[in-house]
Amino acid sequence: MTARLPRLHLSLRAKLSIALGSAALLPLIAVSAVAGRVALGRLERNLLVQTRQTSHIAVNLLLRQVQRISREAGKLASDPELHELLALEPSLVGGFLQGYAEATEAGLIEVVLPDRTAVARIAPHLRGGMTQIASRPESEALARALDYERYLSLAVIGGRLVIQASAPIVDSMFVLRGAVIMTTPLDEQMADYIKSVVRADIGFLTGRRPTASTYVDESGRRLPGVDPPLELGLRVLRGSTQETIGSVGGQDHAVAFTPLQTVHGRRIGMMSVALSREDFRRAQISAVRSLVLGGATSLLLALALAYVFGKRITIPLERLHRSTQAIAAGDLEHEVVVETDDEIGDLAGAFRGMTGALREHQERLAARVREILTLHQIARAVSSVIGLDQVLRLVVNEVASVLGAERGVLLLTGKQGGLELSGEFNLLRVSGEPHVPQEWRELAERVLAQHTATVSGTVLAVPLETRERGVGALVMARRESGGAFSEADLRLVVTFADQAAIAIENARLYAEVSAFSAELEETVKRRTAQLTLMNEELGRALADLKSTQALLVQQERMAGLGLLVAGVAHEINTPAGAIQGSAQMLGETLNRLVVRLRDLLDRGLPREEATALLDRMERARRSLSQSGLLPPAEMRRRARELAAGLEARRLPDARRLAKRLLEAGAAEIAEDVIRLSDRVPPDLVVGIVEDLSFLERSSLSIQVAISALVRLVRALKSYAHSDQQAAVVDVDITEGIETTLTILHNTLRYGITVQRSYAELPRIPVYQDELNQVWTNLIHNAAQAMNGKGELAIETLRRDDQVGVRIVDNGPGIPPEIMPRIFEPFFTTKPPGEGTGLGLGISQRIVEKHGGRIEVESRPGRTAFTVWLPLHGPPRKESTGEPA
Amino acid sequence: MTTSRPARLLALPLAAALLLACAPRDEYVSARASSLVAASVGDALTLDPAAISDNESAQVAMQVFEGLVRNREGTSQVEPALATRWSVSKDGTVWTFQLRRRVRFHDGTPFDASAVVFSFERQRDHNHPFHFQAFTYWESTFRNIREVKAVGPFTVEIRIDRPYAPFLANLAMFPASIVSPTAMRRLGRGFASRPVGTGPYQLVHWEKGERIILTANRTYWDGPPKVQHLVYEVVPDAGQRLVSLQSGTVDVAYGLAPADRQLVRLHPDLTLYRVSGNNVAFLAMNTQRPPFDDVRVRRAVNHAVNKNAIVKLVYQGLAIPASGPIPPALWSYHGRAARYGYDPTRARSLLSEAGYDPTLTPRLYVMSTPRPYLPSPVLVARMIARNLADAGMKVELVVRPFAEHLRATQLGEHDLCLAGWAGDNGDPDNFLYLLLDRDNARRGAARNQAMFMNESLHILLVAAQAVMDQRARERYYRRAQEIVAEEAPWVPLAHTDLVVAARRSVRNLQVHQSTIINYRKTVKHGAP
């Protein structure tokens, strides 16, 4: 059975308000309860956290004070006046310290002699008796200072915590004159000072006993401070900061206790930092109260409004709701259209205000982001190396897009510089016509002349200037509908213009430098190509040489070949080594040079200056190839002069710079080095000059080496003439001898002087290459007979129808007993491996083939081999039928 | 279920406000708690371990890479790392290493013998495609390696040119790190800024000149590190490093000013790590020419110099007076070998006994630029000159920039010179042989600036290189130190301490003698 409830007839408004009320009430209560609890807990926790953080700051402050006192002690200890007084009249030190009292923060200053007697003591800022905290002879501060060390610690003296700093007094002769000790108690003064900064009550405790604090009771009397609970106090003295809630002067406080320790880590006390809990409690209560009251009021208001206005209210509410949703979704443009003339209207108004502010913020943020992005892009453009045109396009485009400008032109000064803008402009079109209105030109000229940026309505003009000069002007325009430019826009463009000017300057400079490096690379490439050609020629010559050698071997000229190869190998190796060495360094130097040139570019030198510098460097390089280096003595003299010049301009390392410049043959660059030294490190300029000069020298030395090689190969060719080896040709005998001497140059050049005495001889028909071998054998034998040192005389003679070649050495001579055997094959006096013993045998055979003869005379100090050849050449029958 | 609109209207902003109040802060706190920030003096230059020659780069590389062996915590002794065991042939020239299995590089490449061969060969073989430059350390320290080859998938054989006991100690240095061959092949020279190794941390981000961020290697074979992120923040100013440490924005600070050391000790939240450095500063006497060819004169100089005063004043407590060439923390250190106290009277009588001519003015060469082991060289030289004058020996100072000073003293132009050495591999050989053996007294390249040539010492030092038994080596080195003390070619001056400061919340920092900190086992407690 169910009781039938009477059916209530309620109005729509009443239903609405009941539904609204009950639906709102439950979550409101729940939210209030949760929020209240969370807020309370947080506040409590926050209080402890804040106390701990405050204590961190307080400790750092205290230590800064410690540091300050230590520095002061050090400064006082190094005062020469104090040194003098201690050496001459120690009794006056007290007076000296009095003069010091004003400036110091220390509580007590003592000066102690090395024998540990105090010579003076002042207490400028000490309330209590100074003797209480005076240092004892056995104190560590004193002992350390008298052992030459600075010392700094916290300590307990006379039951009080103090800062102690000491420093040795060591005079300019390194004699220990005594020690300075500064002691400052951690007293109320210190506590007050820290409180004045951190705005929390401070206390100092010796061990766990409070000794000084900023706490006062109701009557304004100082209290000693808070005692930590036993357990907690012990934990602090074990080294960790602890917080607790405690009562000071009847008020609840959150207190953090931080341990204080000596430099040896011994904990001797603590510092307390207290924040009043009352303030926080009041904040808590008011927070909860306003939460509850606010909830209740709004509930009542909701009910009342629902009841009174019913439907009228639901519509604006609905709108408001939609607006919040829209705004929450990020649509800040959404208009809150609630025009009622009540609280909701106000709310909507406030809401509008809020969204407006939000929008403004967001716009400002966006503008700032745009600005940063732009600067970033510009910066990137500056740092990455791109062409001038690109930079210019970038500049105009970026500025225009940031400002929402419709048109922008960048006007650059022409090559003549100055302000002749007309006709010399580079014009870049963003949109609209390429035409630049006359009034823009005038505006641009004006801003550049006056070094000022202007904005007038929808037109904005900014000069582009580097440090030295104006490089152009930037004019931007918006359509009337786009709105006027603001001061903020102007600021942005000015910032931007500074960057852009540098970019433009850099781009120009880069273009010039890259042209220069390209030219340089081209030169190197050309030289390399030449070298390759020469190398090929050399290769061919070597191939010739090889086949020649093959033939020599084939013709059983092993001995000659051996000699030849030994001599030639050395002659080839020297220039080849030089080429190899230079070539290896070329690539490296080129790389380094390009890096250095980039670096130079990045220094942002004005164009003219950079061009001039590079031109002078190039001139110095060219002149090097023409003039070469100075003689050493002259070089040293010039280096001294140059160094003096550089030193006068206070350049560091002047001597080394001078030497490097001179060695690079570029003394004239010195002026540039000096002039640019504030912007470009002298090292960089000198480095570039050195690289250039190295490139030049390397290519010169390669050329020299290659011509040496070519000469040698020519000599070899004429020596061996493989293509005509079997034929008889008319030759100048003297030429053959000279060729041989060239090849044997290496054997002879140390210690053998060659004297030539050549008669006028006609050309005679001979087997040229074979005959050359005779000369080689005879000259080589002579050199060996003299053991590499002595005089070699070569003489040519003519007698009747014969020509003679006499080769004379001043060696020990051929012993008479072996004289008859010297022409025997395989007879040798040389140690095994040094000679084949075929030399003279072969020579004799060759001379006999020519129809000539060899004569020998020998005594100690003079041995002469004379080769006689018929003027008309070898007997005819010998000249044919020889195998090729 | 639906709630009424007004309720939603109220609940939403409230919830949002609460979220805003707690979330970001807590997130920040937890991120901060799991990462460790170290303030370094400068940025790393390269992270290709073969190319490194500066301390900042080595610091980071040692977290990312490992070698076959490593230094045992806090010592210069060697223990297994990527190699689990090793043996050396009877003739002492072939070392065979068994490699650790199931180790992967940060990029997933499995670690094996080919990676070891790759890492060494690219440094040894000048024609290797990844031999980017002449690698400094290889050319000086590892030149004795003739061949490195894989003899199995997890076995590597290294052949050296002659028996050389410090070889294993060399392998614990950063240039012997094993790099990922796959990563090197993929990145080429780019490897130097995106290094891939097997170490406890891997690189996630490097903002040049600003910071390097490493993250823990979850699969590290020796157990993943406790600290999740390791950040090297460049803070060039020493004062700023201290302030950041005090305020808790960084956890570890390198390179503190000497004057700040005591302050750190006073701070309740900070800890000072002081490691006796692997270095020595000394006054070398040119033993090859008068008057210092006379041992009595050299002993007189040793008695004349007030070492304690110099070290205390100049190093401000950051160094200990040296008694011999080897720092006390290095094995085989022989403290009792020293015998010269400050005694000007004794110095004077020794000089007159030696018939020293007081009108001579020997030239004391000194560098104008501070060195890590000698902060104010000119001041030290002036103090020494003062001491010597008191004992009756006038000297003339010759002050030059470091490079010139080194060139001149290596040529033996000096009578006396200030010099120093920072050791590389934690082996006594690195001090005694290099600085005092006759092999290194060659004019022009003399590391032995005393030009000290002592046959007995030479025999001992060469024998100690060839013997593998450490106890025997220790005996040789102790005897060697006695000879050096007797012959007194130097006045040993100081061993500089290295100092690193950290927050107390950071535990288990392993600071090595080279100041390289190993964060493998570091733990960070509590909130900032």
The CATH number covering residue A786 comes to: 3.30.565.10
Is residue A727 domain-shared with residue A850, that is, in the same domain? yes
What CATH number is given to the structural domain containing B441? Answer: 3.10.105.10
The sign of the CA dihedral B137, B138, B142, B148 is positive
Give contacts of B312 with chain A, Cβ < 8 Å: 147-149, 168
Is residue A744 domain-shared with residue A694, that is, in the same domain? no
Is residue A70 domain-shared with residue A167, that is, in the same domain? yes
Angle at A713 between CA A708 and CA A718, to 5 degrees: 130
Distance CA B359, CA A555 (A): 77
Residue A841 domain flag: yes
What pLDDT, on a 0 to 100 scale, did the predictor assign at position B176? 93
What pLDDT, on a 0 to 100 scale, did the predictor assign at position B1? 40
- Total Cβ atoms within 10 A of residue B444: 8
Check if B248 contacts A (Cβ < 8 Å).
yes
Closest-CA residue to B58 (of B50, B105, B230, B217)? B50
Q: Are A184 and A190 in contact (CB under 8 A)?
A: yes
% of residues, chain B, pLDDT over 90: 45
Residue B257 domain flag: no
Residue A17 domain flag: no
Most confident of A257-271, A319-333, A660-674, B512-526: A257-271
Residue A824 predicted with pLDDT over 70: no
For residue A567, name the pLDDT band (cuts at 50, 70, 90). low
Structure token pair of residue A507: 């781009």
Mean pLDDT confidence for A117-146: 77
Is residue A203 domain-shared with residue A144, that is, in the same domain? no
Is residue B297 domain-shared with residue B181, that is, in the same domain? no
Q: How far is A192 from chain B (nearest CA, A)?
A: 21
What pLDDT, on a 0 to 100 scale, did the predictor assign at position A416? 52
Q: How far is A149 from chain B (nearest CA, A)?
A: 5
What pLDDT, on a 0 to 100 scale, did the predictor assign at position A573? 73
What pLDDT, on a 0 to 100 scale, did the predictor assign at position B32? 62
**Whole-complex ipTM:** 0.77
Residue A385 domain flag: no
Tell me, what amino acid is at B466? Answer: A
Distance CA A597, CA A521 (A): 13
Residue A180 predicted with pLDDT over 60: yes
Check if B264 contacts A (Cβ < 8 Å).
no
Is residue A260 within a helix (H) or strand (E), and if so which, with residue range?
strand A251-261
Residue A359 domain flag: no
Distance CA A761, CA A803 (A): 8
Provide the CB-side half-sphere exposure for B370 (13 A, CA). Answer: 6
Residue B131 domain flag: yes
Q: Do A70 and B313 touch (CB under 8 A)?
A: no
Residues in chain B predicted with pLDDT less than 70, given as ranges, are: 1-33, 526-528
On the 0-12 / 13-18 / 19+ scale of CB atoms within 10 A, A518 is exposed
Is residue B362 domain-shared with residue B470, that is, in the same domain? yes
Is residue A608 within a helix (H) or strand (E), and if so which, with residue range?
helix A607-627
Is residue A741 domain-shared with residue A824, that is, in the same domain? yes
Indicate the residue among A157, A185, A213 that finishes a domain.
A185
What pLDDT, on a 0 to 100 scale, did the predictor assign at position A431? 43
Mean pLDDT confidence for A459-464: 83
The chain-wide mean pLDDT, for chain A, equals 75
Residue A853 domain flag: yes
Please state the φ and ψ torsions of residue A205, each to the nearest 5 degrees. Answer: -130, 135
Residue A99, domain extent: 64-185
For residue A34, name the pLDDT band (cuts at 50, 70, 90). confident
What pLDDT, on a 0 to 100 scale, did the predictor assign at position B181? 95
Backbone dihedral region of A265: left (phi > 0), alpha (psi from -120 to 50 degrees) or beta?
Answer: left
What pLDDT, on a 0 to 100 scale, did the predictor assign at position B184? 93
Q: Are A66 and A152 in contact (CB under 8 A)?
A: yes
- State how far Cα A666 lies from the chain centre: 26
Check if A67 contacts B (Cβ < 8 Å).
yes
pLDDT tens for each residue of B396-443: 999 988 888 888 888 889 999 999 888 877 789 889 998 999 888 877
Q: Are B418 and B374 in contact (CB under 8 A)?
A: yes
Give contacts of B272 with chain A, Cβ < 8 Å: none
Is residue B195 domain-shared with residue B85, that is, in the same domain? yes
Residue B528 domain flag: no
Structure token pair of residue B266: 């006073």
What CATH number is given to the structural domain containing B160? Answer: 3.90.76.10
Is residue A208 domain-shared with residue A169, that is, in the same domain? no
- Total Cβ atoms within 10 A of residue A309: 17
Among residues 144-183 of chain A, which lie with CB inside 8 Å of chain B?
A: 147-154, 168, 170, 173-174, 176
Indicate the residue among B199, B226, B250 that finishes a domain.
B199
Q: Do B382 and A174 touch (CB under 8 A)?
A: yes
Among residues 302-321 of chain B, which lie with CB inside 8 Å of chain A?
A: 308-309, 312-313, 316-317
Indicate the residue among A130, A160, A185 that finishes a domain.
A185
Give contacts of A258 with chain B, Cβ < 8 Å: 268
Helices and strands in chain B: count of H runs, count of E runs: 16, 22
Higher pLDDT pick, B392 / A876: B392
What pLDDT, on a 0 to 100 scale, did the predictor assign at position A468? 65
Residue B84 domain flag: yes
Distance CA A665, CA A675 (A): 19
What pLDDT, on a 0 to 100 scale, did the predictor assign at position B277? 80
Indicate the residue among A127, A160, A185 that finishes a domain.
A185
Is residue A631 domain-shared with residue A726, that is, in the same domain? no
What pLDDT, on a 0 to 100 scale, did the predictor assign at position A465? 77
Q: Do A265 and B265 touch (CB under 8 A)?
A: yes
Strand B363-367 to strand B416-422: parallel, antiparallel, or no bridges (unpaired)? parallel
Distance CA A665, CA A638 (A): 11
pLDDT tens for each residue of A736-749: 888 888 777 777 77
Can you name the residues that pair with A209 across neighbouring β-strands? A206
Backbone dihedral region of B263: left (phi > 0), alpha (psi from -120 to 50 degrees) or beta?
Answer: alpha
Q: Are B458 and B436 in contact (CB under 8 A)?
A: no
pLDDT tens for each residue of A372-426: 555 555 444 444 444 556 666 666 666 776 677 777 777 777 655 443 333 333 3
Distance CA A603, CA A607 (A): 11
Check if A524 contacts B (Cβ < 8 Å).
no
Structure token pair of residue A224: 């000693």
Is residue A175 domain-shared with residue A123, that is, in the same domain? yes
Higher pLDDT pick, A582 / A205: A205
Residue A704 domain flag: yes
pLDDT tens for each residue of B347-357: 999 999 999 99
Mean pLDDT confidence for A555-573: 58
Instruction: Tell me how many residue pairs between chain A and chain B have CB atoms under 8 A apart.
Output: 100
Number of domains in chain A: 5
Residue B191, domain extent: 65-199
Structure token pair of residue B140: 């000086």
Radius of gyration of chain A (CA): 51
What are the residues whose beta carbons fall under 8 Å from the beta carbon of B223, sequence distance 6 or more? none
Check if A294 contacts B (Cβ < 8 Å).
no
Closest-CA residue to A212 (of A134, A272, A260)? A272
Is residue B308 domain-shared with residue B423, that is, in the same domain? yes
Query: Taking CA atoms, what residue in B is nearest to A54?
Result: B247
Is residue A136 domain-shared with residue A180, that is, in the same domain? yes
Q: Do B262 and A317 touch (CB under 8 A)?
A: no
Query: Mutate which of B8, B262, B404, B504 to disrupt the A interface (most A C-beta within 10 Å)?
Result: B262
Is residue A634 domain-shared with residue A654, that is, in the same domain? yes
What pLDDT, on a 0 to 100 scale, did the predictor assign at position B65? 95
pLDDT tens for each residue of A40-87: 666 677 788 888 888 888 888 898 888 888 888 988 898 888 888 888
Give contacts of B5 with chain A, Cβ < 8 Å: 317, 321
Q: Are B402 and B410 in contact (CB under 8 A)?
A: no
Structure token pair of residue A127: 């309330």
Q: Do B317 and A173 touch (CB under 8 A)?
A: no
The sign of the CA dihedral B92, B94, B98, B99 is positive
Radius of gyration of chain B (CA): 27
Residue A662 predicted with pLDDT over 90: no
pLDDT tens for each residue of A774-815: 888 888 888 888 887 889 999 998 888 889 999 999 888 888
Closest-CA residue to A186 (of A169, A199, A205, A170)? A205
Indicate the residue among B181, B199, B217 that finishes a domain.
B199
What CATH number is given to the structural domain containing A115? Answer: 3.30.450.20
Residue A854 domain flag: yes
Q: Name the DSSP letter for residue A4.
A: P
Q: Are A757 and A766 in contact (CB under 8 A)?
A: no
Ranking A15-24, A850-859, B356-365 by mean pLDDT, the lowest is: A15-24
Residue A711 predicted with pLDDT over 50: yes
Provide the CB-side half-sphere exposure for B85 (13 A, CA). Answer: 1
Is residue A642 domain-shared with residue A559, that is, in the same domain? yes
Number of domains in chain B: 2
Is residue A599 domain-shared with residue A701, that is, in the same domain? yes
Q: How far is CA B245 from CA A728, B39, B267, in A?
A: 97, 8, 11
Give contacts of A259 with chain B, Cβ < 8 Å: 268
Structure token pair of residue A753: 């002087």
What pLDDT, on a 0 to 100 scale, did the predictor assign at position A122? 84
Structure token pair of residue B162: 């002659």
Q: Do B268 and A258 touch (CB under 8 A)?
A: yes
Angle at A505 between CA A504 and CA A507, to 5 degrees: 65
CB nearest to A24's CB, from B6, B262, B309: B6
Please state the φ and ψ torsions of residue A802, each to the nearest 5 degrees. Answer: -130, 150
